[in-house]
Amino acid sequence: MFWASYLLAALAIILAWPAPIALSRASWPARAPFTAMVLWQSIALGGGLSMIGAMLVWGLEPLGDNLVSASAGFLRILVSDEPAASLGVVHVFAISAATLLFGHLVSTLILTFIRIRRQRSRHRDMLTLLSSPAADQPATLVISHPVPVAYCLPGGARSVTVMSDGLMDLLTRAELDAVLTHESAHLHQRHHLLLWAFAAWRSALPWLPTSLLAQRAVSELIEMLADDEALRHVDEPTLVRAIAIVGSGALPDQPDTLNDPLAEDAGAPAARGTTDVTGGTADARSTAHRLQRLLTPLPPLSRVQQGLALSVAGLLLIVPPALLVAPELIG
């Protein structure tokens, strides 16, 4: 079983480091956001599986020729008084590490879910008190605030899109529709589940820099997916205008911000909601990518290329479990 554990370890390292870095630098995800999203998920899942699998297989190696007989041997040691002499300290350590990592990943996923649920329910409570339903839009709330902002709050049947009246003042009817279809695409395509999984992945493995890369890439990709959905209902200039207006928080005909070069440093960011103090740079980069993608659209990835990427994604999920049972099949 040794070779299987080494292969799994190699796969774990590739999926933890070079693969996410390469994918985060690639430019093709903008041309096939859905495929890229699937690939990110399989990198995370395949990476976790092979990390745990490598340690488990290596630790159980002295107990049997394959995973099944080795696990049975391990169980016998645990429940009956069979001597554990065949297991060295390193093996016990590897088995414990695999168990702990698995428990850690699962419990972080659950804890993140609980934390998010709690924040959402508190936020929803306050929205009930502070907002009013939009006149002609179902499941849409309007909150009285000058900063142009729109977001969605997922919650099954109680999912809502929230707009500020600052936003409604700035945008035309068509631009508002662009914003609303964009937000409802987030809700329909269940993007909050992806955000949840990758937020959990990041808080479970904060020492792994690529977990942050993955989280950023995923939040950028869901914006592109929602943009694509919005483009099925509104034309591209409308969507671009909506993004640019909300992003800059300013009307195009405001003379002091447009043509006067002296106004460059005189802007008051707070009034426009440009909260770039707290890690806004990643967001800004993502907004730039989104706009660039809409303004100079590249042809989508060919079917062959997408099929290739999806096959890689599928392999990443099949290979780790296959390596776990392979020694048995061969032996």
By the rule CB under 8 A, 105 interacts with another protein: no
Separation between Cα atoms, residue 13 and residue 6, nearest integer Å:
11
Q: Which of 109, 267, 310, 312 binds another protein (CB under 8 A)?
A: 267
Q: In Å, what is the CA distance from 132 to each residue of 74, 144, 163, 175, 246? A: 60, 9, 10, 21, 21
Q: Which is nearer to another protein, 162 or 323 (CB)?
A: 162
Torsion angle (degrees, nearest 10) of CA 10, 12, 18, 24: 160
Q: Which of 17, 28, 208, 272 binds another protein (CB under 8 A)?
A: 272
Q: Which of 59, 247, 320, 327 binds another protein (CB under 8 A)?
A: 247
By the rule CB under 8 A, 222 interacts with another protein: yes
Residue type, 210: T
Q: Which of 283, 305, 310, 317 binds another protein (CB under 8 A)?
A: 283
By the rule CB under 8 A, 256 interacts with another protein: no
How big is the site for another protein, counted in residues (CB under 8 A)? 73
Sole window of 3-11, 74-82, 181-189, 296-304 interacting with another protein (rule: CB under 8 A):
181-189
By the rule CB under 8 A, 125 interacts with another protein: yes
Q: Which of residues 127-156 bind another protein (CB under 8 A)?
A: 127-130, 143-145, 147, 149-153
By the rule CB under 8 A, 269 interacts with another protein: yes
Separation between Cα atoms, residue 66 and residue 325, nearest integer Å:
7
The residue behind tokens 């080795």 is 70
Q: Which of residues 6-35 bind another protein (CB under 8 A)?
A: none
Beta bridge partners of 132: 142
The secondary structure of 122-191 as a DSSP string is HHHHHHHHHEEE-SS-TTEEEE--SS--EEEE--GGG-EEEEEHHHHHHS-HHHHHHHHHHHHHHHHTTH
Sole window of 13-21, 28-36, 81-89, 113-121 interacting with another protein (rule: CB under 8 A):
113-121
Please say whether the beta carbons of 55 and 101 come within 8 A: yes
By the rule CB under 8 A, 172 interacts with another protein: no
By the rule CB under 8 A, 286 interacts with another protein: yes
Separation between Cα atoms, residue 125 and residue 300, nearest integer Å:
42
